C-alpha cells in the first residue's frame, strides 16, 4: 500500500529533476541560452494550446454533424415504415370492393395517429385536398385515383422533392386496374 502512494510523487520528482538537469546542461554547453529557451518553450506551449483548441472544435463539429445525420437516418427509416404501413392499409380498403364506414374511419385514425407526425404543413394540405375529392367512399375508381395521388405525395415527401402532379399517378391507377382485371381470373375463395 505504501509503495503505491510513493510511486507517483517519485515519478513526478524524477521528471522534474531530469528536465531541470537537461536545461542546466544545455545552458552550460551553450546550446540554448535561458532567455531564448523560455521564448521557445512559450512558443511551443502556445502552439500546443492552439492545436488542442482547434482539434477540440473540429471534433465537436464532427460529432454534431454525425448526430444530426444519425437522427435524419432514423427519421427517414421511421417515415418509410409508417408510409408503407399507411399505403398498405389504404389499398387494402379496396380489395373487397365494399369499403365500410369503419374501414374509412380506421384510415382516418391511421392518419392522425402516425402520419401527421411525419408530414409537413404543405403535404398535410395536399392530403386534405385529395381526401376532399372523395365524394363517396364506396366509389372504388375515385378512391383508386385519390389513393394514387396520396401515394405520390408520400413518395415525394420521402424523396424530398416538390410535389407535382404527373403521370405517375395515372400509372398507379392503371397498375391497380390491371391487377383488378387479372384478379377476375382468380378463383373465389370458399367461405368456411
Per-residue pLDDT tens digits for 62-93? 999 999 999 999 999 999 999 999 988 888 88
Cell readout for 133 is 375529392
Interior CA angle at 35 toward 31 and 40, to 5°? 75
Q: What's the pLDDT at 16? A: 87
Assess contact for 99 and 143: CB atoms under 8 A.
Answer: yes
Burial of 153 (0-12, 13-18, 19+ CB in 10 A): buried
Does pTM surpass 0.75?
no
Count of helix runs (H) and strand runs (E) in the chain: 6, 0
Predicted confidence (pLDDT) at residue 54 exceeds the cutoff of 90:
yes
Amino acid at each position: 500500500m505504501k509503495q503505491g502512494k510513493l510511486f507517483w510523487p517519485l515519478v513526478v520528482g524524477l521528471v522534474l529533476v531530469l528536465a531541470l538537469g537537461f536545461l542546466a546542461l544545455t545552458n552550460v554547453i551553450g546550446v540554448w541560452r535561458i532567455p531564448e529557451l523560455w521564448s521557445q518553450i512559450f512558443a511551443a506551449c502556445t502552439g500546443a494550446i492552439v492545436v488542442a483548441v482547434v482539434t477540440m472544435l473540429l471534433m465537436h463539429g464532427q460529432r454534431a454533424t454525425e448526430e444530426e445525420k444519425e437522427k435524419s437516418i432514423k427519421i427517414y427509416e421511421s417515415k418509410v415504415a409508417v408510409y408503407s404501413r399507411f399505403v398498405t392499409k389504404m389499398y387494402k380498403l379496396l380489395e373487397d370492393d365494399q369499403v365500410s364506414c369503419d374501414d374509412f374511419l380506421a384510415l382516418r385514425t391511421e392518419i392522425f395517429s402516425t402520419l401527421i407526425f411525419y408530414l409537413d404543413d404543405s403535404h398535410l394540405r395536399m392530403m386534405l385536398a385529395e381526401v376532399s375529392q372523395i365524394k363517396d367512399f364506396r366509389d372504388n375508381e375515385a378512391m383508386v385515383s385519390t389513393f394514387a395521388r396520396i401515394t405520390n405525395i408520400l413518395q415525394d415527401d420521402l424523396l424530398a422533392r416538390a410535389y407535382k402532379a404527373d403521370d405517375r399517378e395515372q400509372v398507379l391507377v392503371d397498375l391497380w386496374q390491371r391487377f383488378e382485371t387479372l384478379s377476375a381470373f382468380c378463383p373465389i375463395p370458399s367461405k368456411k
